[in-house]
Amino acid sequence: MSLLVALQFLTRLPLPAGLPIAGPRVGRALGWFPLVGALLGGLLALADAALSLVLPRGLVDVLLLVLLALLTGGLHLDGFMDTCDGLFSLRSPEERLAILRDSRVGSFGVVGLTSLLLLQWAALGALPTERRAACLVVTLALARWAMVYAIVVFPYARPAGLGRIFKDEAGPHALVAATLLGAAAAVGLLGLAGLAALALAAGTTWLFARYCLGRLPGLTGDTYGALNELVETLLLVLLPLLLQG
Residue-range domain boundaries for the chain: 2-10+37-244
Nearest to 17 by CA among 1, 37, 40, 39: 1
* pLDDT for position 23: 58
Query: Three-state DSSP class for 106?
Result: coil
* pLDDT for position 19: 63
Question: In the predicted model, what is the mean pLDDT of the chain?
Answer: 92
* pLDDT for position 17: 67
* 21 has pLDDT over 70: no
Answer yes or no: are the C-beta atoms of 240 and 147 closer than 8 Å. no
Give tens-digit pLDDT for 35-86.
Answer: 999 999 999 999 999 999 999 999 999 999 999 999 999 999 999 999 999 9
pTM: 0.94
The vertex-229 CA angle with 73 and 1, nearest 5°, equals: 55
Nearest to 184 by CA among 72, 31, 40: 31
As a whole number, mean pLDDT of residues 200-207 equals 98
Answer yes or no: are the C-beta atoms of 22 and 168 closer than 8 Å. no
* 28 has pLDDT over 70: yes
* 191 has pLDDT over 90: yes
165 vs 3: CA distance, rounded Å: 16
As a whole number, mean pLDDT of residues 199-210 equals 98
* 178 has pLDDT over 90: yes
Give tens-digit pLDDT for 112-171.
Answer: 999 999 999 999 999 999 999 999 999 999 999 999 999 999 999 887 777 777 787 788
Nearest to 50 by CA among 141, 122, 139, 133: 133
215 vs 211: CA distance, rounded Å: 7
Confidence of residue 94 (pLDDT cuts 50, 70, 90): confident
* 91 has pLDDT over 90: no
103 vs 115: CA distance, rounded Å: 20
Confidence of residue 22 (pLDDT cuts 50, 70, 90): low
Answer yes or no: are the C-beta atoms of 111 and 83 closer than 8 Å. no
